[in-house]
Structure 1
């Protein structure tokens, strides 16, 4: 199994008797937050019951969940860059972005509890710059749990990337409030405008994990949503497939592409965003290359180069955020270049 940051309980032991006498913030908050790596497969099992294939898949997902949770708790106790950054950078390359995502969670919570230090922006614009997209997603994972107006928070973030905060928000809701978010298809009433689409992109990403990356369960879940929401849901699936733990082989990813049907351009856009995450950090992963090869017929570095070039020359449009204009351009490139367009199937850009 890939390494993750030193477990917070081990860190406590290393601190000696003083720590044993004075509980850390993470130990105080654990029973309140009730967040653990084991919680993820438990919630998936609540939705779908015991499934042999999900048990196997979660063995591959487990390092992702554990890295996220461990770095979250570690950050609560060690927010200083001198201690935090070396711990994050010691994580295996495939999981290092997830570690920075967990750090984004911790710093977001600390900024809410103790707002005078502004730890999150200092981190994003400092040592976490290569991972800023994932840090924003991590901040969004905490946003549903804190008394912060999401739109006021978004207004203080990078105008282009801030919608990734909503991706994290949607992922959290899709996993931890699945009865409301998935079964009842609710979007939080306090979200408006494009934030609702960013929410759905994160919700789609959560479905990749909660369904155990099972194509039939993914289709059955997405198909009950209104058509106008399905593109963003499939985009989240594409991002998760290309970025998170590689659990599908080439043939299975091909089945996933076929299953996305008219929403293939959205699936492709999600995979392209994942390739950008990899390119920005300078860390490659075989499963990201594999997903891009199946979906885009080229490797992740080429997909990322295309996507980053598009971000440099976006059309002017005051009605849509630049982030969505970028995603739309990516979808159009896929439609132009993909051989799938010759099949005669109706595809949604």
Structure 2
């Protein structure tokens, strides 16, 4: 019975590898080495999800994940976390998500939260409060649970581009961590990440896509672009430098997204060359330096004038980047 239920969950909630390809989504990009590399990201997510949803034992999923190449391993963990979260809330009360985050997923904690956001996109809102496991300790970066909302926004934009990108729909507020006012901002950060993939990493197209949104939404979109370009790659140093110019007054948001991506790569113990290139283009700093900067700006308490601890953290990073630029 368990394999049958697993197959049903997979068929109901997971797209196929072809469906997550850029051609399968109908994105306006020409196939190239660049786009094939970016397409490997959602494909790794799908593989992780299929393993996580069908494997009887979590240990089996973790063994499979351990064999994924380091550059895309975090993305595979996103999919596996999504599967564990769905299994925990759809069946008898489980703890697969907690076990994954405490085990092999721990180095990928930032991407694990994004995977929980992918589960949010497929589950009714009353279940959302059950998705994030209660984990003690700063090593789980609880303020970063807002990345789940980012993941939710990415999923909405990637799989329903007409509504969330072309029509620029605003989502219904939800009091994540008790703060409904910040919800749309975190969704926009995920939409910004999706714009990088939807446009195949072509910086001119990405910049034009951001520019079509209302002005008050663009800073958070640029943050998402910076995170995606730094973590996933797909552009040359010269193209990234042009993107900094295109971001204009939002370049500190672009840089902040890059800092968080570099911190996630550094925390996972593998930093590809494209991450180093993007960090330098967006911040003028090296990966080790921005990882320390992220730690130095870490926040644990909300500020009524700023927002949740996550935004306090982001604001601190932006201020440090501006100070460095001066």
User: Does TM, normalized by the shorter one, top 0.5?
Assistant: yes
Note the 1:72-151 alignment, pairs <5 A.
72-78=49-55, 80-149=57-126
Determine if contact 1:37/1:62 at 8 Å carries over to the other structure: no
Map Cα deviations across residues 223-256 of structure 1 (whole Å, 9 max, x no partner). Answer: 1211111011000000000001x22111111111
Q: Does 2:172 match 1:189?
A: yes
Looking at structure 1, the residues matched to 271 and 259 of structure 2 have their Cα atoms a distance apart, in angstroms, of: 14
Q: Are 1:336 and 2:323 counterparts?
A: yes
2:129 maps to: 152
- Which of 317, 321, 345 is residue 303 of structure 2 equivalent to? 317
> 1:149 aligns to what SS in structure 2?
helix
Q: Structure 2: 5+ residue runs without aligned partners? A: 135-140, 175-179
Give the aligned CA root-mean-square deviation in angstroms. 2.4
1:84-134 Cα offsets, whole Å, 9 max, x none, are 222212211111111111111111111121141122123223332221111
Report what 2:154 is aligned to.
Answer: 171
Does 2:213 correspond to 1:225?
A: yes
Supply the distance in 1 between the matched residues of 2:66 and 2:133 (Cα, whole angstroms): 27
Report the secondary structure of 1:162's partner residue.
Answer: helix
2:189 is matched with which residue: 201, 214, 219? Answer: 201
Once the two structures are TM-superposed, the CA of residue 69 in structure 1 deviates from its matched residue by 0.6
In 1, distance between residues paired with 2:57 and 2:130?
A: 22
Is contact 1:41-1:210 (8 Å) kept?
no
Q: Which residue of 1 aligns with 2:260?
A: 273
Instruction: Give the equivalent residue in structure 2 for 1:215.
Output: 203
Q: What SS does the aligned partner of 1:256 have?
A: helix
CA distance in 1, matches of 2:262, 2:187: 20
In the alignment, structure 1 segments of 5+ residues that lack a partner are 1-20, 340-349
* Equivalent in the alignment of 2:145: 162
- Quickly say closer, same or farther: Cα 1:186–1:275, change in 2 above 3 A: same
Instruction: Report which of the two structures shows the higher radius of gyration computed on alpha carbons.
Output: 1
Count of aligned pairs between the two proteins? 314
- Taking a change above 3 Å as real, the CA distance of residues 315 and 114 of structure 1, as seen in their structure-2 partners, is closer
Alignment of 1:64 onto 2:51:
no
Q: Measure the CA separation in 2 of the matches of 1:318 and 1:151.
A: 24
Task: Provide the C-alpha distance between the structure 1 equivalents of 2:302 and 2:3, rounded to a whole number of angstroms.
Answer: 53
Distance 1:22 1:239, change over 3 A: closer
